[in-house]
Amino acid sequence: MTVLSRVFARRTALVGAILLLLVILFCFFGPLLYGTDQSHTDLSAARLGPGSGHPLGTDDLGYDVLGRLMVAGRTSLIIGVLAGLIATAIGAVWGALAGYTGGWLDTVLMRVVDTGVAIPALFLLLVAATLVTPSVGVLALIIGCVSWLVPARLMRAETVSLRERDYIRAITVLGASRTRVVFRHVIPNAIGTVVVNATFQIADAILLVAYVSFLGLGVPAPDTDWGAMLSKGITYTFDGSWWLILPPGIAIVLVVCAINFLGDGLRDAFAVKGRR
């Protein structure tokens, strides 16, 4: 069986993949079917409950919530995926370098990781937000740069065990350069672990984007993302405007869940140990 068919043999992974596909369709192609004005405020239509014309109501500035959910989802997904990939790339190279080289470089690189773990990512994000104006690219870069520690640790562990394998030793004896061994042999052979972890990184990044926006440091208006929608909706929680909070909240939970299900399926498919 190929990896993919093994993944989808698991019902949870299949459900995750389908859910994720639906959300992507909703966010990127939804606006083509359901056009709404997401750049001009309309205070005369502010905070309307769900009903005809606005299936999910409108927010405090008169934006249609359903349409806003699509636009916001695009931002959340793009930043999440980019940040997850950046984190995975940095972490993979860092961990492979540390694990393969060993010695003092390993010690130095891993102490940097320990330091990063000890400093809360939210602190770095807060400081970064005072330094630069957040945009989609900047946020993805910053979130990617604060969340590469776990993939680095994983990659190091993987590399240390690969390093001892005979075929890597053979290549080294044949005179392959260190860079070549790391990039051509160690990283590709650890790719299973990395791919699985990347899915979790993306899920975590989407959550982190939500946190950052929730704290008021997200993309500037009229752009928005799910975390920012939630954060704005909180003001009206006690007025009973549930349609401002539940849709973005449920969207975040749904996407993160779907990605985690998919990642779990991938992990099981790659894992040899549990396949008997």
Point out which residues bind other proteins (CB under 8 A): 11-12, 111-112, 114-115, 117-124, 126-127, 130-131, 203, 207, 210-211, 214-216, 227, 230-231, 234, 237-238, 240, 242, 245, 249, 252-257, 260-261, 264, 273-274
b vs e for 213-248, b when ≥16 Cβ sit within 10 Å of the residue's Cβ? bbeebbbeeebbbbbbbbbbbeebeeeebebbbebb
Smaller CB separation from other proteins, 65 or 187: 65
Q: How far apart are CA 13 and CA 270, in angstroms?
A: 13
User: Smallest distance, Å, CB 111 to other proteins?
Assistant: 6
Q: CB 59 → other proteins: shortest distance, Å?
A: 16
Shortest Cβ distance from residue 121 to other proteins (Å)?
A: 7
In terms of CB distance, is 66 or 255 closer to other proteins? 255
- Report, in Å, the least distance between residue 264 CB and other proteins: 8
Question: ∠143-144-147 over CA atoms, to 5°?
Answer: 85
Q: What is the DSSP string of 71-129?
A: HHHHHHHHHHHHHHHHHHHHHHHHHHHHHHH-HHHHHHHHHHHHHHHHS-HHHHHHHHH
Pair 215, 126: CB distance under 8 Å: yes
- In whole angstroms, the minimum distance from the beta carbon of 6 to other proteins comes to 15
Residue from 220, 225, 234 nearest 60 by CA: 234
Q: How far is the CB of 104 from other proteins (least distance, A)?
A: 13
Query: Of 67 and 227, which has the nearer Cβ to other proteins?
Result: 227
Asked if residue 263 lies in contact with residue 17, where contact means CB atoms within 8 angstroms, the answer is no
CB-nearer residue toward other proteins: 111 or 184: 111
d(CA 270, CA 165): 19
Residues with Cβ within 8 Å of 103's Cβ and at least 6 positions away in sequence, in order, are: none
Which one, 40 or 273, has the nearer CB to other proteins? 273
Query: Are 152 and 87 contacting, i.e. CB atoms less than 8 angstroms apart?
Result: no
Residue 157 or 171 with smaller CB distance to other proteins: 157
Rg (CA), the chain: 22
The nearest distance, CB 167 to other proteins, in angstroms, is: 24
Q: Which is nearer to other proteins, 187 or 226 (CB)?
A: 226
